[in-house]
Amino acid sequence: MNDDFLPLRSKTILLVITGGVAAYKSLELIRLLRKSGAEVRAILTKGGAEFVTPLSVAALSGHAAYQDLFSLKDETEMGHIRLSREADLVVVAPASADFIAKMAQGRADDLASTTLLACNKPILIAPAMNCEMWSKPAFQRNLSTLRHDGAEVIGPAHGDLACGEVGSGRMVEAAEIFEKITLMLQRNLELRPLRGLRALVTSGPTYEPIDPVRFIGNRSSGKQGHAIAAELAAMGAEVTLITGPVQIPPPTVAHMIKVETAVQMRDACTGLLPQGIDIAVCAAAVADWRVSEPAQHKIKKSGDQAGLQLELTQNDDILKMISNHHNRPKLVVGFAAETENLLGFAAKKLKSKNCDWIVANDVGPKESDKESDIEPNMLGKTCGGVFGSDKNQAILLTQSAQIPWKLMSKQELAKNLVAEIVKFFER
């Protein structure tokens, strides 16, 4: 067959084979994938190796079957992080009840579960088990968790089971899994329009130390920045999230850098720019000032009622630095969190920072009759307290337009922003 007509040419599939009689079908799946031009890497769990041999998997895939998390040879040749990073799709077939439970619980006690926990690619699960196991509420809760987390499930089929019973639990045939893989990869290309682009997102607050105990900070939760990072990744971008101290779960992104101070965030950003960044979204609430000389030990109270005096030094403007860098991204988006004169201050920031867009949001306390640059019917008492809230409303300012967004969840606002980013790169 001509390479131009191979539907999965240049695609890499990571196949995880867990314990179960249905493991023999995974060998046929490897054959179908290779015939269609895909590269196949395979991980055999301890249970999977009881049903198919590493030699059979290696002969059909053209690569050694990976088995041991602590194998120096395996980790040197292809570490567990690379196994998932270099794949376009991860398929667990057969997926035993035990392994599905591991995935749902986020366990990482062998190579397969560790690789999946570190995975940032689409996952397809083909369950195979006894019909009673399939029907149990505990198992269905585990499967529901994985679906909620974004995994897709195919099957199981109804029929004769290896145990001699009849019912649901039989793994679907290799040809059906192959068709599902092809559809997922085609859809992935259509729904991931930012694939091939690299994005930098800053999120959360910065903490500027006063002494080893105290700091200057702000109320940013990181929810908006994290939501933007997750949505960019969902659209196919390779995202590096640079986050200050937050108390929320990390999104699934390619890379994450944790920082505490504005200087650390600045250095992380400047370190990434020479690597080639296409999109920068500066959603972090970076402290404008830091203490010039933080105390080495905890400052003790004294009887002096004059109070503590701190000498502050202005932090570098990270948004302005990125916008004017010689390795400037193609699109630079900043945030303007204001408590008054929203449009006026945001427009001034757009010009002074030399960025492309500004997302302007009013973070001050809201009153139903408060004057605002946003239409009155878009405001309300529920909009107050943007910092730490699950909701936000904003106006996107570009060089030529103003796009108002009503009060919505921060995930929805992230989708709106990323939709505009997609339009920008489709021009």
CA pair distance 327, 330, nearest whole angstrom = 9
Of 78-82, 198-202, 379-383, the range with the highest mean pLDDT is 198-202
What phi and psi, each to the nearest 5 degrees, are found at residue 137?
Answer: -55, -35
Query: 258-301 pLDDT, tens per residue?
Result: 999 999 999 999 999 999 999 999 999 999 999 999 999 998 88
List every span in the chain annotated with CATH 3.40.50.10300.
198-292+309-426
Alpha carbon 421 to its chain's center: 17
Query: 346-376 pLDDT, tens per residue?
Result: 999 999 999 999 999 887 665 543 444 444 3
Active-site hit among 163, 282, 355, 383: 163
Task: Look at residues 96, 86, 102 and name the one whose alpha carbon lies nearest to residue 26.
Answer: 96
CA pair distance 100, 110, nearest whole angstrom = 13
pLDDT of the residue at 91: 97
List every span in the chain annotated with CATH 3.40.50.1950.
3-191
269 classed as catalytic: no
CA pair distance 360, 339, nearest whole angstrom = 11
Superfamily of domain 3-191: Flavin prenyltransferase-like (3.40.50.1950)
Give the fold, CATH level 3, of 198-292+309-426. Answer: Rossmann fold (3.40.50)
Instruction: Enter the pTM of the model.
Output: 0.58
Q: Which residues partner with 396 through β-bridges? A: 359, 403
Answer whether 417's CB lies under 8 Å from 356's CB: no
Task: Look at residues 78, 147, 161, 151 and name the one whose alpha carbon lies nearest to residue 119.
Answer: 151
**Which tokens go with 137?**
């509420």
pLDDT of the residue at 381: 33
Pairing of strands 279-282, 331-338: parallel
* 3-state DSSP percent of the chain in helix, strand and coil, to 5: 35, 25, 40
Angle at 318 between CA 313 and CA 321, to 5 degrees: 110
Pairing of strands 402-409, 391-397: antiparallel
CA pair distance 282, 275, nearest whole angstrom = 18
